[in-house]
A and B are shown apart, each in its own frame.
Chain A
Amino acid sequence: MSYNKIVIGKPGTEKFFLGNEAIVRGALESGIDVYTYYPGTPSSEVGEAFMETFKKVGMKWVESSINEKVAMEVAGAAYARGASAMVGMKNVGLNVASDPLFALVTTHPKNKNSALVILVADDPQQHSSAVEMDSRNYLKLFKIPALEPSNPQECLEFTKRAFEISRELKLPVIIRTVTMVSHARSNVIIGKIKQSEIQDDFDLSKEANVASRLYFLKLKEDQIYIRMNRALEMSENSSINKIENENVKNDYELGIITSGVSYSYVREALDFLELKIPILKIGFINPLPAQKIAKFLEHLQQVFVVEENDGYIETQVLAIAQKIGLKVKIHGKDPFAYSKEDSLLPFVGELNPTKIAHALIKITNITPKFDLNLIEGKDYELLGRIPRLCPGCPHRTTGFAIKQATAKIKSKTRKKIYFYQDIGCYTLLAYPPLSFANVKYCMGSSIALAQGVAQINGSLNIAIIGDGTFFHSGISALLNGIYNKAPILVLILDNGWIGMTGQQPHPGSDTRYYKEGFFKQAIKLVEFLQGTGALVSVITHQKSVEQEYETKLEDLIYEKGLDVLENKNLQVIVVRDECIQKIIKRYKPEVRSVNMELCTNCGLCYNQFLCPAIIEKDDSAYIKSTLCLGCGICEEICPNDAIKREDL
């Protein structure tokens, strides 16, 4: 798929590309050798496309790494070694990868072909993230050049530009996108794919690459005063920091500074208000072109800085205006006020043309074509639709079993039970009716969170973590718990894949039956756990072999939970039940149906078990055959034996 879509095509032709696909194409047009990544929305499609195409296009190496830190290190070393490398992650992934990046960015590879581009995809409005985070704040900390595209065409062009800058300066360059750029689709004109130019000479001389005490300060000076200084020069002269309507006069003596997708919203809002004013669109977001900004400000009485989330550009514009002694009024979010009243734009959430139009109306007092407030004042009865686990998802069964088992433990021991959730599809168990989340932070934290409470009181503390997340960053917390004898119950929900972001493989994935199969070797999770000396139990859901799987799982959780409370042991239960979205690629679903004669309409299956394929219809449970994926658990839990395979 990806190959035909992204790789094939004559230079100059037009493609209908997702922002992420355009990034892949841009990298291929830059002679990329290596891509490493850790999946995370909205960045995952880039990795998946490289995974599918890399052998055919002759790249040296592509991997879906165990976590972002490792991805950064693998790509970083390839960069030092002379590769044109790229590493991709979502917003919070950069937190995980930040430690090596801090040193990496000071190093100074000597190979001509060395280039490193870092894709960071932010997610304002947290469409699919646990937190909203503006990763641009890292740019000042790392002192790293960064580009921000505003649409798919720019995704392609800026990726190419990023490779060129990195190759020239020997600094990694960040490409920062947001959901509305990575997941926007539009016309993209493609260029020519370039073959890799990696050479075999290899310079790992210490001065160039080792960030140790002996060399670090010298390298840091070189990074800031030489390489970033040149980056600044590039930013000042770059055509991707461009001024539109430069000499257009307007009554308000107003101009706009913006970047990324906000630029397109600005254009939309200005059209609506029939306003034509100068716009400085910044594509090179670090270092900012301070002189260009100063010159832009000189002709204005007021400027409006439009950006999503934090006032990253605005604080710098304020500083630049102060430095050159300009009295220009700067509108935006007043980043020093931390006040909703003082800001024209929000710190929180995505922007859109409507929000910008509102702000512009406040600044200019223009009467718009129609009253936006009137539209927004209308209030409709919206149905709150909570996302649900897929029909047949293994986590539903586990959640159901945990609920039953912990209710029994509670009534027997009268102890409090707390749950620590992690990040993955099972996070949805945090919603009613199960409501399993007492505390949840970020990927890999559940096991340590459970320890923090278990070590100080006598409650039962249960960590619920997926296999992908366990490999990503749960391992060290588990080792910590074993070493410190933390009395906790750890449930590893081993569905075999990184389900949430699209069923990508992780180091424990058994890829034999799937297209990923040909170059991966799975790590044996259970043997690994046994090797740590922990008390490990395993339960496996085998299709149509295992009877009463749910009851067995319930009993196991009950037994091990009591053991944690009574004997202060750390217990690990591995629940092995494959992600149904993967299974259906191998097996035809054994669809279930309800026998209406036997069904008493108790509602257990559609009210408590909550499979989305089951609804209430004509005073009976009813299974929508096109939604059922055939896990068979409803058949097992039905107290009236009313559910059976459809074909029987």
Chain B
Amino acid sequence: MIFDNYTIVMTGIGGQGLISLLQILGDVLMKNGYKVTTAETHGLSQRGGRVVCFLRFGSMLTAPIPLIGTADIIIATEKSCILEVLKYSKPDKSTKLVISTYEEKLINVEYPSEKYLFNVLHENSNNIYLIPATNIAEKLVKNPKTANIVILGYIVRFLPLNEKELENSLIQKFSENILSINLNVFKEGLKLK
């Protein structure tokens, strides 16, 4: 597997910690000699709007926004948010879709049905990974805000990074009082099937 011009698309709801994911991953990739570009496109994201971010790396700097149909991994920290970014999945259905099973429903708006989501996802990819990230975070450390770190742990298997480096970067990033819970869920994410 060559990691050149590699594109990760991330989506979710403002406040789910996507920007932290970008920073942690980007920083470690850079230290591993990659040229990394990330971009945050959000409006008033900290307050519940949908967020879309990109992380791209390889031997050269790229544009902050990729072409549609070219993502290698798409991550959604809220299930229905994936719909907005499916256009980035490759026509050959090889893009990995890593989707949290967490649903944030809206008042008086119908949430996309299981069946609809199932069909649409399978139309777009042969590699779908549904991760109960929020459940794990709630059960293990009673803090759903760490769901993003469960996902971080999970995707390590797809990337040219080793867990130790990421762990070190978590140690640098988080203050002492929340470090251990983040390390905890990170390890859980690593272990997930």
Contacts and interface: CB of A to CB of B under 8 A. Distances in A.
B144 A390 contact: no
A269 B35 CA distance: 19
Interface string B78-96: 0010011011000100000
Q: Which of A352, A353, A387, A425 has most chain B Cβ within 10 Å?
A: A387
B68 interface: yes
A265 interface: yes
Contact of B107 (A153, A184, A606): A606
B46 A390 contact: yes
7 contacts: A16-B30, A127-B42, A380-B83, A383-B106, A383-B111, A388-B47, A428-B44
Contacts of B50: 385
A126 B43 CA distance: 8
B81 to A, nearest CB: 8
A276 to B, nearest CB: 15
Interface in A293-322: none
A385 B13 contact: yes
- Among all A-B residue pairs, the 5 with the closest Cβ atoms: A264-B63, A387-B49, A387-B44, A380-B83, A353-B67
A316 B34 CA distance: 38
Interface in A352-403: 352-354, 357, 370-372, 374-376, 378, 380-390
Contact of B37 (A127, A185, A372, A607): A185
Given A378-B87, A383-B109, A383-B111, A186 B36 contact: yes
B14 interface: yes
Contacts of B23: 16, 185
Contacts of B43: 126-128, 387
Contacts of B35: 186-187
B11 to A, nearest CB: 11
A357 B67 CA distance: 9
A388 B84 CA distance: 19
B145 A612 contact: no
Contacts of A261: 63-64
Interface string B100-133: 0000011101011000100010000000000000
A220 interface: no
Nearest to B29: A16
A205 interface: no
A183 interface: yes
B-side interface size class: 35 or more
Given A264-B62, A264-B64, 17 more contacts: A126-B43, A127-B41, A128-B43, A153-B61, A180-B41, A183-B40, A353-B65, A372-B69, A381-B83, A384-B109, A385-B49, A385-B50, A387-B14, A387-B45, A425-B47, A615-B105, A626-B145
A428 B63 contact: no
A383 B65 contact: no
Interface residues of A, number: 54
A386 B49 contact: yes
A378 B41 contact: no
Contacts of A504: none
A246 interface: no
Given A382-B84, A388-B47, A185 B144 contact: no
A179 B87 CA distance: 22
A541 interface: no
B135 interface: no
A52 B144 CA distance: 31
A388 B14 CA distance: 10
Interface in B132-147: 143-145
Given A381-B112, A626-B143, A180 B39 contact: yes
Contacts of B91: 370-371, 374-375
